[in-house]
Structure 1
Amino acid sequence: MTLTTKSSKFPIRLSPFFLLTLVIIISGLSQGLLLPVLAIFMEERGIPSSVNGMHAAALYVGSFAMTLVAERVLGYTGFKKLLLGGMVAVMIALPIFPLVSNLSIWFVLRLLVGVGDSAIHFTSQLWLLLLSPRERRGRNLSLYGMSYGLGFSFGPFGIRLLNYSQLLPFVLLSILTAVAIVLVLIRLPNMYPERTARSVKETRKYGQIYRLAWFALFTSLLYGYMESTMNSNFPIYGLRIGLSAEQIATLLPFFGIGGLILQLPLGMLSDRYNRKVVLMIAGLSGGLLFLSVPLVGNSFWGLLLLFMGAGGLVGSFFSLGLAYAADLLPIALLPAANVIASFHFSIGSILGPNAGGAVMESVGPGWLFILLGSLYMLFTLTGFGFKKRSLEKS
């Protein structure tokens, strides 16, 4: 898979890597703010956690829907146009949230944001993956993941701006998105994935990808589950164990900060040693830390340290999993593998708020993290049964 470029009348002075990471930082900011703010709004209105969780999943339903058509749309529009379309959708939807209080309208807006975010992530991930040589794949995708983590970490700080105006953080995010749209519009060429010979029939392509790289693609489902659980369910968990909204807003960024600290070292380690082993060790350690969360109760500093540690260990799961899949698959299957990774992320993100809300309501708040930690332990165990296979043997 190579890339073809259509000429642009604007000189390119900013690298594609820089602009794509800038876009993903802003995307992280929007998700890091939107989910916890709306969860707090709904909890304060007395809406049950199960309903809150189902409503939060609307964002990922939109993401899932976009995933189903992303590969085909990319072939028609090219990277730049699909990326811009996603950014415009997010920019339009964000400032409408604080202007209305109708849950049905919020549901539709979440769907729109989900479609936009999915277009942004699918395009930028695949673009960087195809541009990265194998020996720097883990590093580059980790830097990409760090960029998202940076935005994701600072997003919840926008909760503090609500004291001035409910509209303020959403408008600021829309302005930042608009600036990024202008930069992408004038500084990036429109690039297309080059069409390759269809050596693999469409009906067999996805089956082959799963046979060759199911373990690597499991990571994106776990990452989606974890991210949506932390954003949508933890604010409810925090309020129910006695934390204030300000404490919740302070704690959430430290999960992403841990990812910022360890993501690049883990990516570089995976380039040098064994990516599968790095993923298994991170999953085991992160799972144990999640299981420890109920043990510290509402201790602010205990939660902060656990979130930093767990975030550092599993915050790179999506990017490392995608890099590992690229090691296992022929290059012609990478766009479809990226679709599957995005699909898994969406499924995990839909399951997270629903499962988390249901288990907190039916069993107890602490089970939110018992379930989350157990999933990472299960991931580590399945790794012992995964063996690298060649395309011919699949």
Structure 2
Amino acid sequence: MFKVLGATWALMLGMLLLMVGNGIQGTLLGIRGEIEGFSTFEISVVMSAYFVGFLGGSQLAPELIRRVGHVRVFAALGSLVSAILILYPAMTHPLAWTVGRVVIGFCFSGVYVTAESWLNNSVDNANRGKALSLYMIVQMSGIVAAQGLLTLGDPSGFIMFIVPSVLVSVSFAPILLSVSPAPAFGTVKRMKLRRLYEVSPLGCIGIMITGGVYSALFGMAAVYGAAVGMTVPQISAFIAVIYVGGLVCQFPIGWASDRVDRRVLILALGIAGAVASLGAFFFGDIFTLLLVAAFVIGGTSNPLYALLLAYTNDYVEFDEMAATSGGLMFLNGIGAIVGPLATGWIMGTLGAPGYFLFLVALMAGLSVYAAWRMTQRATPENLDNTSYAPILPSATAVALEEWVEDWQDQEREDDAADAAKALAEDSHREVEA
């Protein structure tokens, strides 16, 4: 891990600052929207707009980069992000914020594509998996750190919008000045949705549900906190605990997923997440219990994305894995767009606690569907499980491609080792004969 950090420290430092800036603006808008008197549904539209832009950026950014180059795209998108962050408090209207969130989502998607392609170029094949793990830790740490910074300022003023703008601007300095030239890369193609559903119905449905859960957690947690009258430090702690839970549980769940039937694990995580969300619905007024529930919700929902990716890729051939992952990423984006909208409607109808009822419905629905699918298809006895990789729902096609390449490299090494062992055994038997 230290070798990887030594080779990528500038990129990781830049991404850390970038994620701190992104984490601040995501939470800050939910709090400020409540202060400005936006309705719950208006704020949910604003939050959903980020994922519209992110999904569009994931499709268009690679082509844009091929036309004008990584550095120009990186600098241009970063400038747009900084500008919009400063404009938010100057144009406090739901429509203006919605447009700004679409643009910011598009820009962050392009920035992630560029950064992840640089990351892939900065490490060799033997360290790619470790680099992905470190990248995930940096992303989660940045979002958690952002919640702490929110407690240092007044969300009703300008300063807290200037801070993420500065952080985003500064984040590009170590990346642009220190990393190696960016590589060329191709767009990951998507598998046709009908074919993808035939390969893994649970993967398709599950990944869409996961997108809805993730976007609700990322976009609407601050809205819920503001609606029930939490203080800014309480909202920050609530959101931070969600991501800490995801960070802590990611690796144990990954370890377990390589050793048990992944559908059993998906079922168990769905049940645990539904129970924790139901507990938060009934006991959310007790802040300590709310934090415990938030930890469990984050710890069960965040790893589900990588788990479902690995499960689906268990059933495809080498040459289909990249297209499969690209198709799942698209379905996850669709779910992410719907998540905040549905949450906002439910909260507007049932009140703020409806936030947790939405999570209960999604997590319980995933569990029921997983249980039903277990009755429809048995696990093949000769199934060669794809190694689990800690990838977040915010990952772009580049990170997915790196994961696929890393697993394929590991499989080739294992096959070569098995072949060498078999050859040695054959030679030993011939000598004995």
1:60 and 1:350 in contact (8 A); partners too: yes
1:71 and 1:336 in contact (8 A); partners too: no
Which fold has the larger relative contact order, with Cα–Cα distance below 8 Å and residues 6 or more apart in sequence?
1
2:272 and 2:300 in contact (8 A); partners too: yes
Corresponding position of 1:306: 293
Corresponding position of 1:208: 195
Q: Distance in 1 between matches of 2:258 and 2:70?
A: 27
Amino acid paired to 2:21: S
Corresponding position of 2:220: 233
Amino acid paired to 2:172: I
CA RMSD of the aligned region, Å?
A: 3.7
Corresponding position of 2:174: 183
**Shift of the alpha carbon at 1:299?**
0.9
| 2:153 corresponds to 1:159 | no
Amino acid paired to 1:292: G
Q: Distance in 2 between matches of 1:194 and 1:302?
A: 47
Corresponding position of 2:423: none
Amino acid paired to 1:299: I
> TM-score when scaled to structure 2?
0.72
Q: Structure 1's 323 and 301: CA in aligned 2 closer, same or farther, altered over 3 A?
A: same
**Shift of the alpha carbon at 1:363?**
2.3
Partner-residue secondary structure (3-state), 2:285: coil
Encode CA deviations 1:217-259: one digit per residue, 9 max, x unaligned: 5454334322332344333333443423332222211111111
**Shift of the alpha carbon at 1:359?**
0.9
Match of 1:54 among 21, 45, 50: 45
Q: Distance in 1 between matches of 2:307 and 2:133?
A: 7
> What is the correspondence of 1:125-164 to structure 2 with a 5 Å cutoff?
141=132, 143-163=134-154
Encode CA deviations 1:306-364: one digit per residue, 9 max, x unaligned: 11122112222233333444444444444444443443333223222211111112123
Corresponding position of 2:54: 63
Match of 1:98 among 76, 86, 89: 89
2:190 and 2:325 in contact (8 A); partners too: no
Q: Distance in 2 between matches of 1:104 and 1:343?
A: 25
**Shift of the alpha carbon at 1:302?**
0.8
Segments of structure 1 that go 5 or more residues without pairing to the other structure are 1-11, 197-201
1:25 and 1:148 in contact (8 A); partners too: yes
> What is the correspondence of 1:26-41 to structure 2 with a 5 Å cutoff?
26-41=17-32
Q: Distance in 2 between matches of 1:203 and 1:234?
A: 31
1:294 and 1:369 in contact (8 A); partners too: yes
Segments of structure 2 that go 5 or more residues without pairing to the other structure are 384-433
Question: Matched residue pairs, number?
Answer: 372
Corresponding position of 1:375: 362
Identity of aligned residues (%): 23
Amino acid paired to 1:349: A
> TM-score when scaled to structure 1?
0.78
Corresponding position of 1:278: 265
Q: Structure 1's 27 and 333: CA in aligned 2 closer, same or farther, altered over 3 A?
A: farther
**Shift of the alpha carbon at 1:37?**
1.4
1:135 and 1:271 in contact (8 A); partners too: no
1:70 and 1:339 in contact (8 A); partners too: no
Match of 1:193 among 172, 185, 195: 185
1:142 and 1:319 in contact (8 A); partners too: no
2:43 and 2:94 in contact (8 A); partners too: no
